[in-house]
Amino acid sequence: MDYLPLIGIVAVIAGFALRLRVTVTVLAAGFVTGIVAGMPIVGTDAAPGIVDTLGRAFANGRAITLFVLALPAIGLSERYGLQEQARRVILKISAATVGRLQLVYQFFRIAVVAMGIRLGSGHVIFAKPIVVPMAVGITDDAEADQVKAASAASENYGNFFGQNLFFGAAGVALVVSTLKQNGLTADPRQIAKWTIPIVIASVILSAVQYGLLDRWLRKRAAKRSSGRP
Amino acid sequence: MIGALTSLDAVFIASGVVLLIFAVFTLVDRTNPSRVGSAIFWGLLGLSFALGSVLPAWATGTLVVSMAVVDGLGLVRHGVHKEPSEKERVRAADRFGWRIFLPVLMIPALTYLPSLIPWGPGVSGDRIVFVSLGYASIAAGIVAWMLTRARPIALVHEGRRLADAIGAVVILPQLLASLGTLFTAAGVGKAIAKAVGLVIPTESPLAVAFACCLTIAAFTFVMGNSFAALPVIMSGLGVPLLIERFHLDAGAVGLILLTGASCGTLCTPMAANFNIVPAALFEMRDPYGVIKFQAPYAAAMFVVHVALLWTLIWMT
């Protein structure tokens, strides 16, 4: 029964399709997978069980959620005009559009990761306090989810497709170690150079998508202003 | 002493304390329709952070299951937080000007600076980054408080306002990473690679390039993590089908499959820290709004990866 573990995937898809709470879906998928794999509910060090594997992985993953420590500083700055100030700064640049702002941010993000600088979640430390209020300030259209979505996307695009430009990146190291397990060798510098065509393509496609977003926002703004008496 | 203060545990304990403070204030927040349930959730999360390194794994696991149950019962809700009025915001911006960026910009700056110091072997990169991030966040809070001359309690209120905006989604990144670990332990990856290996037409270079990219992207979609996908897909498909059969550069195949996997990451709610938490944090109406925006781009990038692999096969 080699394919039985795949039932966990079925559980995840079913959970999302039925719009169950994601936490519940994930937990159910975990238990189903563990049970069909013959894991006990609570195991020992020698034979790990479901609950202890979840707990160990959750504790080991705490760094992902470390951003909660930054929330008081960001929240207080927001309370005292951070978003308004971000709006003022961006409105001084008459050429600024949401799309161009996102492209500039993406270039910035690529430069940061290409130098091997890791800062935790860019969504929390750059996008939330700075990029999102600037983008919303340009459109003056807080209703447009797409403006905020683009601010998350530019962070992800820059981070995902740019990070392996740095030959010491975790992704490059993973490629090296994976190849080694398969009896192959490769030089990290040679691996990293394959990122160049990918990052170029990613920036071109971003420019296209942000251009389309700007066009959509212009049409939307025109419709809004003509709709008002 | 210095070692203890600069350990990951120190910043995890600090986060745990902050979360426990949030829990206490949630408990007395009369604007929250489910203040007890919400307080239990934040309290359990705080405990898992503060005690995660000393509790036995089954105990932390029990905390995790309890948090999911509390959320599953719909008991995690948020209070009503007073948003500053237009007038207040304009007045604050007039008063502080660009200085209000100071605390926020301190966080990346202070996170980066310690990584310039040669710490020597035995100090992991993770530890430098996250310990710096933790202390940078605390320092930024203190600077924001001194700059605005707000009451210290305002840090708690404003932090809790943002935490409430995120809600129970906050545990998803860790929870999904845990699910990935369970999947790996149960052999999910091997089963996928084996199933795909049976159906791939191995004669056509384009079909092989397409199938390898699609499998790793789909695998990443399910697991939410390209790093978990790469070792499985490389040994199952990349090495036998691309490197050995078509004699491609091994490093190129590895890297292209790795970023090809990111096309899956862009589309999946399982990568909650990249796609779901931002939607909550930016207060978007659609929790899947980020994914919907990214999906067409991911499809285009997917084509780029297939084309790149295909070109490599033609060139060798």
- Each residue's pLDDT, cut to its tens digit, for chain B (316 residues) gives 778 888 999 999 999 999 999 999 999 999 999 999 999 999 999 999 999 999 999 999 999 999 999 999 999 999 998 877 888 888 888 888 889 999 988 988 898 888 788 877 777 777 888 899 899 999 999 999 999 999 999 999 999 999 998 899 899 888 888 888 888 778 777 777 777 777 777 778 888 888 889 988 988 888 788 887 888 888 888 888 888 888 888 899 999 999 999 999 999 988 888 999 999 999 899 999 999 999 999 999 999 999 999 998 888 7
Residue of chain B with shortest Cα separation from A73: B141
Q: Over 70: is that where the pLDDT of A228 sits?
A: no
What pLDDT score does B189 carry? Answer: 72
Q: Per residue in A156-204, pLDDT tens? A: 999 999 998 888 788 888 888 888 888 888 888 888 889 999 999 999 9
Closest CA to B296 of A146, A14, A68: A146
Q: Is A3 on the interface with B (CB under 8 A)?
A: yes
Q: Is A145 on the interface with B (CB under 8 A)?
A: yes
What pLDDT score does A3 carry? Answer: 79
**Chain A interface disruption, residue of B13, B60, B76, most A CBs within 10 A:** B60
DSSP annotation of A35: H
Cβ of B251 and A191 within 8 Å?
A: yes
What pLDDT score does B179 carry? Answer: 85
Cβ of B170 and A79 within 8 Å?
A: no
Among B11, B60, B90, beta carbon nearest to A55 = B60
On chain B, the residues whose CB falls within 8 A of the CB of A194 are: 251-252, 255-256
Cβ of A62 and B234 within 8 Å?
A: no
Q: Is A172 on the interface with B (CB under 8 A)?
A: yes
Residue of chain A with shortest Cα separation from B157: A72
What pLDDT score does A227 carry? Answer: 63
**Chain B interface disruption, residue of A33, A51, A67, A189, most B CBs within 10 A:** A67
User: What's the gap in Å between the CA of B138 and the closest CA on chain A?
Assistant: 7
Confidence of residue A221 (pLDDT cuts 50, 70, 90): confident
pTM (two decimals): 0.88
DSSP annotation of A21: -
Mean pLDDT on A128-138: 91
Closest CA to A218 of A229, A228, A226: A226
Residue of chain A with shortest Cα separation from B136: A70
User: What's the gap in Å between the CA of B130 and the closest CA on chain A?
Assistant: 7
Burial degree of B122 (CB within 10 A; 0-12, 13-18, 19+): exposed
User: What's the gap in Å between the CA of A99 and the closest CA on chain B?
Assistant: 13
Cβ of A68 and B15 within 8 Å?
A: yes
What pLDDT score does B229 carry? Answer: 82
On chain B, the residues whose CB falls within 8 A of the CB of A147 are: none
On chain B, the residues whose CB falls within 8 A of the CB of A179 are: 234, 250-251, 254
Query: What whole-number distance in Å separates Cα of residue A169 and Cα of residue A31?
Result: 34
